[in-house]
Amino acid sequence: MQVFPLLAKTPLSLGRALKPYLITVSLLLCSNVFMTFAWYAHLKNMSAKPWIIAVFASWGLAFFEYLLQVPANRTGITVMQLGQLKILQEVITLAIFVPFSLFYMKQKLSLDYLWASICIAAAAYFIFRRNLSGG
């Protein structure tokens, strides 16, 4: 049993094997930027406007998020299990949310972000551990 089965591949076959993962992660990173803004930016930018205006603005952003998220999930499911795809999404969400929260929303960094990150990292480990061990 190999520890890292992807490392045993030739560079060309490794590129083909990694391509769906890279496409999935890239599209999910981009889609999460849109979704984070759709979910939270109105709290900063539209707090004085009626909530229905924020809904339509958020829907507009979410449309672009879905244009990226749907192909990301369709690509990802070809190489990952559904649970793995979901946990990957959560890892990416946290990776996008923390800088958004700190830099755009001007929230203070607390140890809670560290604890949440550790929990998400543990979830990623458990859902992907068979892939990591080659089994």
Position with higher pLDDT, 50 vs 7:
50
The pLDDT value recorded for residue 95 is: 94
Sequence-distant (6+) residues with CB within 8 A of 134 are 1, 2, 3, 4, 5
Position with higher pLDDT, 7 vs 124:
124
Strand runs (DSSP E) across the chain, as ranges?
none
Sequence-distant (6+) residues with CB within 8 A of 105 are 40, 43, 44
The pLDDT value recorded for residue 18 is: 84
Q: Where are the domains of the chain?
A: 5-133
If you search the block for the tokens 């083909």, which residue do you land on? Answer: 16
Position with higher pLDDT, 15 vs 20:
20
Q: What's the predicted TM-score (pTM) here?
A: 0.82
Query: What residue type is 25 in one-letter code?
Result: V
Q: Which helix (H) or strand (E) holds 66?
A: helix 51-76
What pLDDT, in 10s, does the model give residues 92-132? 999 999 999 999 999 999 999 899 999 999 999 999 998 77
